[in-house]
Amino acid sequence: MTRVSNGDDSDNNMGGGTGKRFGSLPVFFLRFLAFSTLLYLIHLKAGFIYMRVVAWGASPLLAIFGKKLVLANALKVTEEISLNPVVYLSLVAAVTGVPWKKRIRPAVAGYLILTAANILTVFFVFMSAYLKDERLWAGTEFLNLTINFFLPLLLWFVLMPIRDIFPFRNS
């Protein structure tokens, strides 16, 4: 279907310049791949710091219940869950058309939310082991899957300024 222009370029392409602002899907995926690779390489070298922060963050929660954190075991858990900030930050960085200043707040907020969720996951893993509770373990596994796969995408959609990415036509 051919679109007829009324002479006003802002009507074309759902608000004018959308193609420029949103970019194309292949460009987004290439940028996502590039940022993911870069952040993953950084994670390989410095990710142990994040893993320790997450593990240590669970320690006070365990102390409330009179339990201790075993750092070696906590690091095994955090190794599995510590990549979700890499995914999230790659999504934020891959978006074209949103100025970097508008991406900083969502990047920091999402990173902090994911870190808190990872700390809760470590806490629940230890509590389920200490209590020998299969239901708590199953819930923790579900939480782990949700945090690793769904939460970075959800945070990206919720925290990023989507009106700048997907302009809506005012009718």
Rounded CA-CA distance 24/19 in Å is 7
Nearest Cα to Cα of residue 93 among 83, 107, 74: 107
The SS3 assignment for 148 reads helix
- Measured distance between the N- and C-terminal CA atoms of the chain, rounded to whole angstroms: 21
- 61 burial (CB, 10 Å; 0-12 / 13-18 / 19+) is middle
User: What is the rounded average pLDDT of the residues 50-65?
Assistant: 93
Our measurement of the distance from residue 18's CA atom to the centroid of its chain's CA atoms, rounded to an integer in Å, reads 25
What DSSP designation does 170 have?
P
pLDDT in the model for residue 8: 42
Mean pLDDT on 113-129: 92
Q: Please give the single-letter amino acid code of residue 69.
A: L
- The predicted model gives 104-133 an average pLDDT of 93
pLDDT at 64 > cutoff 60:
yes
> Has residue 170 got a pLDDT over 60?
no
